[in-house]
Amino acid sequence: MRKARFKPTGKPAFYHLYNRVAGEPDFYPFGRAEKEKFISLLHKLQKYYTVKVLSYQVMSNHFHLEVFAPPKAPRAKEVVRRYRAYYGRHDLKVSDPRCARLGERMRDISCFMHALQQQFAMWYNRTRSTPRRGPLWAGRFKNTLLGGAEALWGCWKYIEMNSYRAGLVSDPAQYRFGSYGAWTGRGRHPFEANVCEVLLPVLRDRYRFSSMRDIYIGLKHAFAEVCGRNMEAGEAKDRFSTRLDRRVRYWVDGLVIGSEQFLREAVQISKGLLRPNRKMPVKAVSSDPSSALCAFRELPNG
């Protein structure tokens, strides 16, 4: 039985979204054209959905997104504007009762991801030298609820380091299919308006970022520190928010990441979807307990 997703309603929410293709672990079907198509779909869907893309990384067999979902559906006027901009049709009016339903779908990460994955899969199957049929994705996408500036900042850095961890580049700035690499190459973040609107205000107080330039310099310094040092065995105890050089399962398999208080509040409002046990929460190792992140997760071996 499919388990219902935990998506808090009535509150703004940030998520890490992830999925991979079906097939063996060494199956890498996405080349330059496929990655560019995926990114173009992200931009296209921003015209319709109010789910805001903040950062992304498209790899050869999987992808990562950091997004924001607004607490409320857009008003009917905005629904109509987005509908017309996306479909190029004028058959929807402000008085149409469909506006309420469409508005709720516009802010829903499940609807956003369904459109993204379905449209990409249809394009992918159609454009092969021998047109293929059947599912492209390994299963349902994973979503991790992120709470607080440290979780958002840690997740962003972790996402952008995928290409480095895979050995594709010596610096994430060299990878053009990630938001940081695109930002470096073009001098502007691909979704700058989204970051300025919803993410910069959250990061400002914790990290004293006052502009996009401050964020870029912060990312650059963080990546330079990891890419330019020799990792020592003793560093394996760093908290998972600072482990950028290797894959950390909490960012992919975690259901909620944030402060311990944020996790406990999430459990309280989850209506049974999150079931705490003796292992909840998993606290990250840190020399500063007040800033340590915690993870509520369902790991296959955890």
Number of domains in the chain: 1
pTM score of the predicted model = 0.89
192 pLDDT above the threshold of 90: yes
Report the pLDDT value the prediction gives residue 134, as an integer from 0 to 100: 82
Say if 178 falls within a structural domain: yes
Better-scored residue on pLDDT, 104 or 264: 104
Report the pLDDT value the prediction gives residue 237, as an integer from 0 to 100: 46
Say if 77 falls within a structural domain: no
Say if 38 falls within a structural domain: yes
Name the 3-class secondary structure at 260.
Answer: helix
Say if 113 falls within a structural domain: yes
Say if 137 falls within a structural domain: yes
Could you tell me the end-to-end alpha-carbon distance of the chain, in angstroms, rounded to an integer?
Answer: 21
CATH number at residue 35: 3.30.70.1290
Say if 86 falls within a structural domain: no
> What range defines the domain where residue 19 resides?
13-72+107-297
Say if 85 falls within a structural domain: no
Say if 250 falls within a structural domain: yes
241 pLDDT above the threshold of 60: no
Could you report the per-residue pLDDT of 243-290, keeping only the tens digit for each?
565 666 778 888 899 988 888 888 888 777 776 655 556 555 444 445
